[in-house]
Structures are given as structure tokens and as C-alpha cells.
């Protein structure tokens, strides 16, 4: 359970619970602070929050982006320096400079070039999830006692610390609120900003009043990605405790993994969260099932279509559901 400081607008909290803790956690783990020279690779949804956090922690912050197109933004976010990685001179000029590099991009990079940017004992932390394999020569690591590490999000204590820190220092992500009617256009245009949708809105549903009359002891819950792992275990536990669960599978073939639950009355929906048309179909299927007390967005991936599955689909589905109990 997290306590959200009252000074933080809710549309800013949503990105902080992803981008905020993803950047704050490694900054704290690697003791970034006054005197630390930190580079943030990528000036997107993760990167711009990282610049703000690192600056507020007292670091000397360098933003590294493919081009200089976002330089004005980066400097406005309090980056001390801004360089384009498409310029080979950048890697010559900055060689041996950084104690910590936070790589937020989800595409492969020339690791050798970035390793040479580290000072002695420097560390590169991989925060993005490129689908390509990465390779690096060992000698540059050995000669500077350099490291390559990974980090993904954070637990409840560090997340609460991050929220309190952002509230205290007024660190807010750059967001743009859009309406549900604009979701498809924003998705297809590759919107540059993280876009929390008006999720607080609840549509009225013909069955809502009837379902409110049902016993409060029985919840109706939809779990995405529920054919294996945590999602399957959650669906099984809910049904075992007497609740009504609806399960989700990427394909009809994968429904076989939850046949023991559908035999016990669990409802099901199918569709690939990486495909926007199939996401729309999932919404229609869920709306036909009726009202839900809760939806657990469990489905996710660490490679391939990370943004569509882990971020866009949950936003789109929640914004377009009519079958969500208020």
C-alpha cells in the first residue's frame, strides 16, 4: 500500500509509479548525489524524469540523445549538458567522464562506445529492454573496473520514498491528458509524452445497479495474462476464495491452460495486447461480460513490444471499458 502525497496531481502520479521509481531506484542504489557525474541516455518518458531526479539529488547531469532535437527540453529539465550520440565526437569528448550511466532506451546501442564513457568504477545500468542481444569486449571493463548492470522498477519502500521525494521537491513528469476518442491517434502517432488518460471517469452500465445489490463479499475480477505464472495463480486463488474471476489469454490455443478454471465457471476473453485492433476486441468482450469490481493488469513483457503491451494496452482498455464498477 502506497500513500500518495496530497501535493502530487494524480495524472502525474501514474508516470511516477513507473518512470519515477525506475530511475530513482538505481540513482539511490548507486549512491548518486553531490559530486556524482551522471549521464541519462534517452530523453523520452523515462529519461526526462531521470534528469529531474538526478539534478535534484545534486548530480552533474548530462543528457545523451540521438539528436539535439530535444536539447531545449533537456536543459529546461535541468540537464547541465546535452549531447547527440549520432555525433561521433560526443564519445571522444566524453570518454572517461561518468560515474553512472542510466540507459533508458529500448533499442540496441554500441556498448563499447558507452563503456568507454565511464570513469574508473563507473557503472552502466540498463533500464530499457532492447530485443537485440548486447555484446561488449571485456578488456575495457577490466581496465577501468567498470560494470554493466540492470534494474527494473522497485519495491514498495523505495516507491514510497520516491513519491515523498518528488512531492517535497516538486518533481513532476511532463504529461498530456487526452480524451478516450484521441487514444488511437496518439497511439499510431507514437506520442512523445507519457499520456495518462482520464481513468477516473466511470461509465454507467445497464447492469451496474443490479450488481451493486449483490453481496459485497464476492468480487468480480478480470486478470490479464492469466494463463500462467502470477496471473494464473491469482485467478486460482480468487476462485478458491469464492470470487468470480475472468481470465485472459493471448490466443484461443492458450485457453487450454485455464480450462480447469473455466470448468468452474470462470469467464474468458482472448486477444493479443500488442495489437491495437485486438485490444479493442478485448474491450468489447469484457463489456459483454458485464461489470467488474477490479481489473488486474498482469500481462507484460520484458522484450519485443514492451510499450504497447505494458503501457498502452492497459491505458486503452481501462479508458474504454464500460463494464467497470465505480
Mean pLDDT of the chain: 86
The verdict on 157 and 206 lying in the same domain is no
Separation between Cα atoms, residue 159 and residue 225, nearest integer Å = 24
Write the DSSP symbol of residue 259. H
Residue 204 lies in a domain: yes
The verdict on 247 and 109 lying in the same domain is no
- Residue with the bigger pLDDT between 142 and 320: it is 142
The verdict on 234 and 291 lying in the same domain is yes
pLDDT digits (tens, 9 = 90+) for 285-325: 999 998 888 888 999 887 788 889 988 899 888 888 775 55
Write the DSSP symbol of residue 178. -
pLDDT band at 189 (very low <50, low <70, confident <90, very high): low
The verdict on 142 and 210 lying in the same domain is no
Separation between Cα atoms, residue 251 and residue 183, nearest integer Å = 24
Residue 283 lies in a domain: yes
Residue 183 lies in a domain: no
The structure's pTM equals 0.65
Q: What dihedral angle (degrees, nearest 10) is formed by the CA atoms of 302, 286, 278, 195?
A: -60
The verdict on 153 and 296 lying in the same domain is no
Counting the structural domains of the chain, the total is: 2
Residue 194 lies in a domain: no
Domain encompassing residue 51: 10-169
pLDDT band at 134 (very low <50, low <70, confident <90, very high): confident
pLDDT of 121: 96
The verdict on 147 and 32 lying in the same domain is yes
Contact 223/200 with Cβ under 8 angstroms?
Answer: no
Burial (CB count <10 Å: 0-12, 13-18, 19+), residue 175: middle
pLDDT band at 184 (very low <50, low <70, confident <90, very high): low
The verdict on 158 and 293 lying in the same domain is no
CB-hemisphere CA count at 13 Å for 277?
Answer: 0
pLDDT of 24: 97
Separation between Cα atoms, residue 291 and residue 212, nearest integer Å = 10
The verdict on 153 and 21 lying in the same domain is yes
Residue 28 lies in a domain: yes
Separation between Cα atoms, residue 106 and residue 22, nearest integer Å = 14
Give DSSP secondary structure letters for 10-35.
HHHHHHIIIIIHHHHHHHHHTT--TT
The verdict on 165 and 233 lying in the same domain is no
- In this structure, the chain runs to a length of 326
The verdict on 89 and 237 lying in the same domain is no
Mean pLDDT of 180-197: 54
Separation between Cα atoms, residue 121 and residue 123, nearest integer Å = 7
Separation between Cα atoms, residue 309 and residue 273, nearest integer Å = 5
Mean pLDDT of 41-48: 92
Question: What percent of the chain stands above pLDDT 70?
Answer: 87
Bridge partners, residue 150, by sequence: 126
Separation between Cα atoms, residue 7 and residue 14, nearest integer Å = 14
pLDDT of 46: 92
Residue 270 lies in a domain: yes
The verdict on 225 and 281 lying in the same domain is yes
The verdict on 129 and 232 lying in the same domain is no
Separation in Å, CA 156 to CA 5, 13, 22, 93, 129? 15, 14, 12, 39, 22
Q: 138: domain CATH number? A: 3.40.50.720
Residue 233 lies in a domain: yes
Residue 187 lies in a domain: no
Separation between Cα atoms, residue 46 and residue 26, nearest integer Å = 13
Separation in Å, CA 82 to CA 1, 35, 77, 79, 308? 38, 18, 11, 7, 29
Amino acid at each position: 500500500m502506497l500513500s500518495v502525497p496530497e501535493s502530487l496531481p494524480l495524472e502525474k502520479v501514474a508516470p511516477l509509479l513507473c518512470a519515477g521509481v525506475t530511475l530513482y531506484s538505481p540513482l539511490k542504489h548507486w549512491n548518486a548525489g553531490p559530486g556524482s557525474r551522471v549521464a541519462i541516455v534517452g530523453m523520452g518518458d523515462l529519461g526526462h524524469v531521470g534528469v529531474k531526479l538526478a539534478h535534484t539529488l545534486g548530480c552533474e547531469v548530462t543528457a545523451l540523445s540521438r539528436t539535439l532535437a530535444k536539447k531545449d527540453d533537456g536543459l529546461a529539465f535541468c540537464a547541465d549538458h546535452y549531447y547527440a550520440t549520432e555525433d561521433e565526437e560526443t564519445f571522444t569528448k566524453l570518454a572517461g567522464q561518468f560515474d553512472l550511466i542510466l540507459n533508458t532506451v529500448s533499442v540496441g546501442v554500441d556498448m563499447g562506445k558507452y563503456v568507454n564513457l565511464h570513469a574508473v568504477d563507473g557503472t552502466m545500468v540498463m533500464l530499457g529492454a532492447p530485443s537485440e542481444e548486447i555484446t561488449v569486449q571485456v578488456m575495457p571493463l577490466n581496465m577501468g573496473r567498470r560494470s554493466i548492470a540492470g534494474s527494473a522498477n522497485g519495491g514498495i519502500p523505495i516507491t514510497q520514498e520516491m513519491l515523498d521525494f518528488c512531492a517535497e521537491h516538486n518533481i513532476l513528469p511532463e504529461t498530456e491528458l487526452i480524451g478516450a476518442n484521441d487514444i488511437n491517434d496518439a497511439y499510431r502517432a507514437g506520442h512523445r509524452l507519457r499520456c495518462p488518460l482520464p481513468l477516473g471517469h466511470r461509465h454507467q452500465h445497464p447492469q451496474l445497479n443490479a450488481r451493486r445489490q449483490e453481496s459485497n463479499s464476492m468480487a468480480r475480477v478480470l486478470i490479464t495474462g492469466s494463463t500462467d505464472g502470477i496471473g494464473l495463480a491469482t485467478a486460482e486463488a480468487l476462485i478458491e476464495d469464492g470470487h468470480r474471476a475472468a481470465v485472459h489469454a493471448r490466443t484461443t490455443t492458450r485457453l487450454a491452460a485455464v480450462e480447469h478454471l473455466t470448468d468452474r465457471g470462470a469467464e474468458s476473453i482472448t486477444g493479443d495486447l500488442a495489437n491495437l485492433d485486438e485490444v479493442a476486441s478485448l474491450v468489447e468482450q469484457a463489456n459483454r461480460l458485464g461489470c467488474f469490481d477490479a481489473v488486474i493488469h498482469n500481462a507484460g513483457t520484458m522484450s519485443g513490444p514492451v510499450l504497447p503491451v505494458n503501457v498502452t494496452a492497459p491505458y486503452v482498455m481501462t479508458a474504454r471499458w464500460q463494464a467497470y464498477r465505480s
